Amino acid sequence: MELLTVGARARAARLSPKALRLYDEPGLLRPVEVDPVRGYRRYTPGQLERARLVLWLRRLVLEPAPARAAEEVARYWERVRAETEARRELAALLVDHLSGERDDMTGR
C-alpha cells in the first residue's frame, strides 16, 4: 500500500500540513505511520475522505454566514475608501504647495 506524506495528503485534502498536525493531536486525523527518527507522518489514500469531511465541517462552523461576510467586506472597503480619500487630500495639498499655488501647508 502506498502511503502519502503529510505534504501530499495536505494538497489532496486541501488542508495545510500544520492543520494536519493540529488535527492529529486530538485524534481527528491520525497518520498510520510516524517515522520515529524524523517525525514524518504518512497517511493512506483512504484517509482523504475523513480529511475532506473535517475540512467541510470546519468551514460550516468557522466561516461566517454570507450576510456577515458581506458586512465585513463593506467595512473593509469603507476603511480603504477613507484612507484613499485622506491620501488624495494630502497629495492635492502637496501639489498645490510644491507648485507655488499655496504658501503654507495648512490646507487653506
pLDDT in tens, 69-107: 788 888 889 999 999 999 999 999 999 999 988 766 665
Task: Examine the domain organization and report whether 57 and 69 are in the same domain.
Answer: no
Q: Do 9 and 20 contact (CB within 8 A), yes or no? A: yes
Q: Write down the mean pLDDT value for the chain.
A: 82
Task: Examine the domain organization and report whether 55 and 27 are in the same domain.
Answer: yes
User: Using a CB cutoff of 8 Å and minimum separation of 24, what contacts does 82-87 make?
Assistant: none
Task: Examine the domain organization and report whether 84 and 106 are in the same domain.
Answer: yes
**With pLDDT > 70 as the criterion, what percentage of the chain qualifies?**
90
Task: Examine the domain organization and report whether 77 and 53 are in the same domain.
Answer: no
Mean pLDDT of 23-42: 86
Task: Examine the domain organization and report whether 29 and 68 are in the same domain.
Answer: no
Total domains in the chain come to 2
Longest Cα–Cα distance of the chain, Å, equals: 79
The pLDDT assigned to 63 comes to: 73
User: Which CATH number belongs to the domain containing residue 8 in this structure?
Assistant: 1.10.1660.10
Task: Examine the domain organization and report whether 69 and 92 are in the same domain.
Answer: yes
- Which of the residue ranges 10-14, 45-49, 77-81 would you say has the lowest mean pLDDT? 10-14
Band (pLDDT 50/70/90 cuts) for residue 67 is: confident
Mean pLDDT of 44-69: 78
Residue 21 domain boundaries: 4-62
Structural domain ending residue among the three candidates 62, 78, 95: 62
Task: Examine the domain organization and report whether 14 and 37 are in the same domain.
Answer: yes
CA distances to 31, 42, 106 from 35, rounded to whole Å, are 10, 8, 67
Task: Examine the domain organization and report whether 33 and 21 are in the same domain.
Answer: yes
